[in-house]
Structure 1
């Protein structure tokens, strides 16, 4: 039997588990707050501490959602805007998020917290792993950062530094385990 001489390829990391839960909220309140704050800051484009309907509409459009998406949410959003304000403050945004989560997905049961956090991290990982190979490359990270309108997405050198800071096996990519360690570390520092 003749063997073909092919270079040995590094096996791809096992893909993160599929999400099975109904709630999009994290079970860990500190991780949930971090995630919500990041989303809030991305949507608050002028940095005034409020998300207005036009800012919400632009953010949804940048994420590839239908133009005018905020119009569909207008009544729900305006119900959470405090009198005398033009937009949602962070606490208002958190209340809207809670309300939408309960209305769309039901109130989550907290007895599977660890598994749910793992699933949420896997979901977040899949956002960055655009080609589904089980790794986040510099090009994929740059693409997602660019879609979110973040300045880091314009500088591949900065993106490579970000990858290197969490790439424990030094293969130039971030696998799910490295991603999870980074997220747990961020959560612990902010608690």
Structure 2
């Protein structure tokens, strides 16, 4: 069915992913920053409604630009062309609160480890307990990140966290890396 109209974005959000908002704020902020950077195609530090529509289309989640514009407009600062990261974060938080209720209280270690395991499993495609250069490159490529185009760059990324020097990232190294990451506010 060519040119079928996608369901409205509000209908698509009625069945949110359980990972929409992770229990740990550091992982959530890191992931949200990466999403923001992916949506900000021209790198100007703002995401326009057009950029959001393009990103949703690429993800197979086409949205009605008019409906999206009316949802996003309340979060765009006067005089701005689009959402700055803080605005995008506020929109994400509001959508999360509307879909899931208030955010959970600070997570215990078990919940954090579960989130870490979920994130690790995204990269560990073959389930062997390690992230290889090939697996990391595949995920980066799927995300459309330029680092995924160069296997040398992927090897550098792995070497930067590979504490036991086996050429791959195990869960412990992944957790250590994730805990060391600090999201710099813009």
Q: Structure 2 length as normaliser, TM-score?
A: 0.75
Larger relative contact order, structure 1 or 2 (CA cutoff 8 Å, min sep 6): 1
Alignment-derived partner of residue 168 in structure 1: 163
Partner Cα separation in structure 1 for residue 131 and residue 64 of structure 2: 31
In structure 2, runs of 5+ residues without a counterpart are 1-17
Q: Which residue of structure 2 lines up, in the alignment, with residue 18 of structure 1?
A: none
Check the 8 A contact 1:23/1:106 in 2, yes or no.
no
1:54 aligns with 2:46: no
CA distance in 2, matches of 1:70, 1:114: 40
RMSD of aligned residue pairs (Cα, Å): 2.6
Q: 2:80 corresponds to which residue?
A: 85
TM-score (ref. length: structure 1): 0.73
Equivalent residue, structure 1, for 2:60: 66
Whether the 8 Å CA contact 1:53–1:87 is kept in 2: the answer is yes
**Rounded Cα–Cα distance in structure 1 between residues aligned with 2:40 and 2:80:** 14
Contact 1:28 1:113 in 2 (8 A): no
Would the aligned equivalents of 2:23 and 2:106 in 1 still touch at CA under 8 Å? no
C-alpha distance in structure 2 between counterparts of 1:84 and 1:146, whole Å: 35
Tell me how many residue pairs correspond in the alignment.
167
- Aligned-partner Cα distance in 2 for 1:120–1:45: 28
1:23 and 1:136, CA in 2 relative to 1: closer, same or farther beyond 3 A?
closer
**2-structure distance, mates of 1:36, 1:52:** 16
Q: In the TM superposition, what is the alpha-carbon distance from 1:170 to its structure 2 partner?
A: 2.6
Moved more, 161-170 or 41-50: 161-170
Residue 102 (1) aligns with residue 132 (2): no
